Amino acid sequence: MANPALAGARVVMLDTAVSVLPVAQADIGLAWNWRIGPASRPVSDASYRAATFTAARIGLRQLSISQIAQPWQSACSPGDLTIRWIRRSRALVADSWEAAEVPLSEESETYTVEILDGVTIKRTLTASTTSALYTAAHQIANWGTLLSPGNTLAIRIFHLSQTYGRGAAQTTILTF
Protein backbone atom coordinates (compact mmCIF):
# COMPACT_ATOMS: atom_id res chain seq x y z
CA MET A 1 0.00 0.00 0.00
CA ALA A 2 1.37 3.38 -0.96
CA ASN A 3 -0.40 5.06 1.96
CA PRO A 4 -0.71 2.68 4.91
CA ALA A 5 -3.94 2.88 6.89
CA LEU A 6 -3.78 4.22 10.40
CA ALA A 7 -4.97 2.12 13.30
CA GLY A 8 -8.66 2.78 13.90
CA ALA A 9 -9.33 3.93 10.32
CA ARG A 10 -13.01 3.56 9.43
CA VAL A 11 -12.31 2.62 5.83
CA VAL A 12 -9.33 0.93 4.20
CA MET A 13 -9.25 0.79 0.41
CA LEU A 14 -7.68 -2.39 -0.94
CA ASP A 15 -6.27 -2.67 -4.43
CA THR A 16 -5.18 -5.51 -6.70
CA ALA A 17 -1.99 -5.99 -4.66
CA VAL A 18 -4.07 -7.95 -2.14
CA SER A 19 -3.92 -11.64 -2.93
CA VAL A 20 -5.00 -14.99 -1.53
CA LEU A 21 -2.60 -16.58 0.95
CA PRO A 22 -0.75 -19.48 -0.69
CA VAL A 23 -2.02 -22.22 1.61
CA ALA A 24 -2.06 -25.77 0.24
CA GLN A 25 -4.54 -28.32 1.52
CA ALA A 26 -1.64 -30.19 3.17
CA ASP A 27 -0.91 -27.01 5.20
CA ILE A 28 -4.32 -26.97 6.89
CA GLY A 29 -3.94 -27.20 10.66
CA LEU A 30 -0.23 -26.33 10.65
CA ALA A 31 0.98 -23.17 12.39
CA TRP A 32 2.93 -20.84 10.08
CA ASN A 33 5.00 -17.84 11.13
CA TRP A 34 4.34 -14.82 8.93
CA ARG A 35 6.07 -11.46 8.59
CA ILE A 36 3.59 -8.76 7.62
CA GLY A 37 4.51 -5.31 6.39
CA PRO A 38 4.81 -2.96 3.44
CA ALA A 39 5.86 -4.66 0.21
CA SER A 40 8.11 -1.70 -0.55
CA ARG A 41 10.39 -2.55 2.41
CA PRO A 42 12.49 -5.63 3.21
CA VAL A 43 11.02 -8.18 5.64
CA SER A 44 13.80 -7.31 8.11
CA ASP A 45 12.45 -3.73 8.40
CA ALA A 46 11.11 -2.68 11.81
CA SER A 47 7.72 -1.88 10.24
CA TYR A 48 7.11 -5.61 9.75
CA ARG A 49 5.22 -7.54 12.42
CA ALA A 50 5.42 -11.23 13.20
CA ALA A 51 2.21 -13.25 13.38
CA THR A 52 1.34 -16.91 13.69
CA PHE A 53 -1.35 -18.15 11.35
CA THR A 54 -2.97 -21.58 11.36
CA ALA A 55 -5.05 -22.29 8.29
CA ALA A 56 -8.48 -23.69 9.06
CA ARG A 57 -10.70 -25.64 6.69
CA ILE A 58 -13.62 -23.21 6.89
CA GLY A 59 -13.20 -22.21 3.24
CA LEU A 60 -13.79 -25.83 2.27
CA ARG A 61 -17.00 -26.21 4.28
CA GLN A 62 -20.13 -26.54 2.19
CA LEU A 63 -22.52 -23.62 2.47
CA SER A 64 -25.91 -24.23 4.04
CA ILE A 65 -28.70 -25.10 1.66
CA SER A 66 -31.42 -22.51 1.03
CA GLN A 67 -35.13 -22.15 0.35
CA ILE A 68 -36.53 -25.22 2.04
CA ALA A 69 -39.93 -25.74 0.43
CA GLN A 70 -43.06 -26.73 2.29
CA PRO A 71 -43.33 -30.53 1.98
CA TRP A 72 -46.00 -31.87 -0.30
CA GLN A 73 -47.70 -35.21 -0.18
CA SER A 74 -47.01 -37.63 -2.98
CA ALA A 75 -50.14 -38.76 -4.78
CA CYS A 76 -48.72 -42.24 -5.32
CA SER A 77 -47.87 -42.79 -1.65
CA PRO A 78 -50.45 -41.17 0.66
CA GLY A 79 -48.85 -39.70 3.77
CA ASP A 80 -45.30 -39.55 2.40
CA LEU A 81 -43.76 -36.05 2.50
CA THR A 82 -41.16 -34.80 0.03
CA ILE A 83 -38.87 -32.15 1.53
CA ARG A 84 -37.10 -30.01 -1.11
CA TRP A 85 -34.39 -27.35 -1.00
CA ILE A 86 -31.93 -25.48 -3.21
CA ARG A 87 -28.22 -26.28 -3.21
CA ARG A 88 -25.64 -23.53 -2.70
CA SER A 89 -22.04 -23.79 -3.85
CA ARG A 90 -18.57 -22.40 -3.21
CA ALA A 91 -17.64 -22.87 -6.88
CA LEU A 92 -16.57 -19.58 -8.46
CA VAL A 93 -19.12 -19.93 -11.26
CA ALA A 94 -21.91 -20.19 -8.68
CA ASP A 95 -22.23 -16.40 -8.73
CA SER A 96 -23.40 -16.42 -12.35
CA TRP A 97 -26.88 -14.98 -12.84
CA GLU A 98 -27.24 -16.99 -16.03
CA ALA A 99 -27.11 -20.48 -14.50
CA ALA A 100 -30.44 -22.11 -13.68
CA GLU A 101 -28.78 -24.08 -10.88
CA VAL A 102 -25.43 -23.67 -9.18
CA PRO A 103 -22.84 -26.28 -10.12
CA LEU A 104 -21.94 -29.07 -7.77
CA SER A 105 -18.55 -28.35 -6.20
CA GLU A 106 -18.11 -31.91 -4.89
CA GLU A 107 -17.50 -35.24 -6.60
CA SER A 108 -20.93 -36.43 -5.49
CA GLU A 109 -24.04 -34.82 -4.07
CA THR A 110 -25.03 -36.02 -0.60
CA TYR A 111 -27.20 -34.51 2.14
CA THR A 112 -28.37 -35.54 5.57
CA VAL A 113 -31.76 -34.41 6.83
CA GLU A 114 -32.33 -34.65 10.56
CA ILE A 115 -35.90 -34.84 11.86
CA LEU A 116 -35.87 -33.11 15.24
CA ASP A 117 -37.92 -33.21 18.42
CA GLY A 118 -36.43 -30.28 20.29
CA VAL A 119 -32.71 -31.11 20.46
CA THR A 120 -33.33 -34.85 20.01
CA ILE A 121 -32.74 -36.31 16.56
CA LYS A 122 -35.72 -38.59 15.85
CA ARG A 123 -34.55 -39.73 12.42
CA THR A 124 -31.78 -39.06 9.90
CA LEU A 125 -32.56 -39.26 6.21
CA THR A 126 -29.91 -39.38 3.49
CA ALA A 127 -30.40 -37.92 0.02
CA SER A 128 -28.36 -37.79 -3.17
CA THR A 129 -30.52 -35.04 -4.70
CA THR A 130 -32.03 -31.80 -3.40
CA SER A 131 -35.01 -33.59 -1.90
CA ALA A 132 -35.68 -36.26 0.70
CA LEU A 133 -38.69 -38.48 1.32
CA TYR A 134 -40.11 -38.58 4.85
CA THR A 135 -42.35 -41.60 4.52
CA ALA A 136 -45.65 -42.22 6.24
CA ALA A 137 -44.03 -45.22 7.98
CA HIS A 138 -41.23 -42.98 9.32
CA GLN A 139 -43.75 -40.42 10.58
CA ILE A 140 -45.77 -43.08 12.39
CA ALA A 141 -42.62 -44.59 13.90
CA ASN A 142 -41.44 -41.12 15.06
CA TRP A 143 -44.70 -39.51 16.20
CA GLY A 144 -47.27 -42.33 16.47
CA THR A 145 -49.34 -40.75 13.67
CA LEU A 146 -49.06 -39.00 10.33
CA LEU A 147 -48.30 -35.29 10.32
CA SER A 148 -51.45 -33.31 9.58
CA PRO A 149 -52.61 -29.67 9.32
CA GLY A 150 -51.63 -27.74 12.44
CA ASN A 151 -48.55 -29.91 13.13
CA THR A 152 -45.00 -28.59 12.91
CA LEU A 153 -41.83 -30.39 11.89
CA ALA A 154 -38.34 -29.21 12.83
CA ILE A 155 -35.61 -30.27 10.42
CA ARG A 156 -31.90 -29.65 9.98
CA ILE A 157 -30.19 -30.22 6.62
CA PHE A 158 -26.46 -30.59 5.93
CA HIS A 159 -24.69 -30.73 2.55
CA LEU A 160 -21.86 -33.26 2.91
CA SER A 161 -18.38 -32.82 1.51
CA GLN A 162 -15.76 -35.50 0.91
CA THR A 163 -13.10 -32.93 1.84
CA TYR A 164 -14.69 -31.26 4.87
CA GLY A 165 -17.51 -33.47 6.14
CA ARG A 166 -20.80 -31.87 7.19
CA GLY A 167 -21.30 -28.40 5.80
CA ALA A 168 -23.10 -25.54 7.52
CA ALA A 169 -26.52 -26.55 8.82
CA GLN A 170 -29.83 -25.05 7.75
CA THR A 171 -32.52 -25.51 10.37
CA THR A 172 -36.18 -24.65 9.96
CA ILE A 173 -39.61 -25.43 11.37
CA LEU A 174 -42.24 -26.41 8.81
CA THR A 175 -45.91 -25.87 9.61
CA PHE A 176 -48.59 -28.04 8.02
pLDDT digits (tens, 9 = 90+) for 115-153: 999 999 999 999 999 999 999 999 999 999 999 888 999
Please give the pLDDT value at position 62.
82
How far out from the chain centre does Cα 73 lie? Answer: 28
Contacts 24+ apart (CB under 8 A), 4-10: 4/38
> Alpha carbon of 73 to those of 77, 89, 118, 142: distances in Å?
8, 28, 24, 18
Q: Residue 19 carries which side chain, given as an amino acid letter?
A: S
With a cut of 50, which residues of the chain have pLDDT below it?
Answer: 1
How far out from the chain centre does Cα 173 lie? Answer: 19
Report which of 16, 18, 13 is spatially closest to residue 4, judged by C-alpha positions. Answer: 13
Helix (H) or strand (E) holding 141: helix 136-143
Please give the pLDDT value at position 123.
97
pTM of the model as a whole: 0.70
Domains along the sequence of the chain with CATH:
1-56 (no CATH), 60-175 (2.60.40.10)
What's the CA gap between 174 and 176, in Å, rounded?
7
HSE at residue 111, side-chain half, CA atoms within 13 A, is 28
What's the CA gap between 95 and 102, in Å, rounded?
8
